[in-house]
Amino acid sequence: MGKPYKLLALDMDGTLLNEKSEISAENERWIRAAIDAGVTVCFATGRGYASALPYAEQLGLTSPMVLVNGGEVWTSPAELRTRRTMKASDVAALRELALRYDTWYWAYSVERVYNKTDWIEDVHSTEWLKFGYYSEDEAARAGVTEGIRAIGAFETTNSHPYNLELNPPGVSKASGLREVCALLGIGMDEIVACGDSLNDAAMIVEAGLGVAMGNAQEEVKRIADAVTLTNEEDGVAHVIRTYLL
């Protein structure tokens, strides 16, 4: 047995949260037990601050958070550490691509989330963190993927088989967790990371123990060190019982 794991990095949607976007009583109980045992619990999510914070408050977390797929790293829920932004001109070009292929789209600014039905007049008037597309039309997704390459270099992942998520190059949940490690004085090999989608892949590969949820995309299961139960079966609680306590 190697050195004990010191940090549990949790994706939220499809991992920590059930299909009703709730933390189950069982997951909460075991997360609190892990914290009591000295394990740091860190969200590593595609969500932004406003939608992640209530869950941190529910669990009483004061630990670091990796948000917007690594676009922001928070030292604690009260203190922003770093923010990696996208160029507004890129966001404008990515939106044009969404309009061309008639996909749903959204984008995270530092203040809020904009989307197809609620867009901002002047993209240069705010700072941008992430852009996303959703389409069940495979040809449209393929066209968008091709168009993205023509616009520039991005970290391209997904949080669902039908979507695409773009961050600046080099920005991922793994890059965010490397910052958290520096903050806490631990190594990536001391992390257990859990997730279900391609935006979790980098951290699952780099963590000491990368765990795919039972409901994870097949590609994520292939690269993981272990597969746990689904998000509906309290898979996070199972990971804590099995590997941390």
Strands 104-109 and 113-115: antiparallel
Task: State CA 234 to chain mean position distance.
Answer: 19
Among candidate residues 11, 13, 90, 234, the one labeled active-site is 11
Whether 11 sits among the annotated catalytic residues: the reply is yes
Residues in the chain: 245
| DSSP letters spanning 24-85 | -HHHHHHHHHHHHTT-EEEEE-SS-HHHHHHHHHHHT--S-EEEGGGTEEEEETTEEEEE-P
> Rounded to an integer, what distance in angstroms lies between the CA atom of residue 195 and that of residue 217?
10
Catalytic residue list? 11
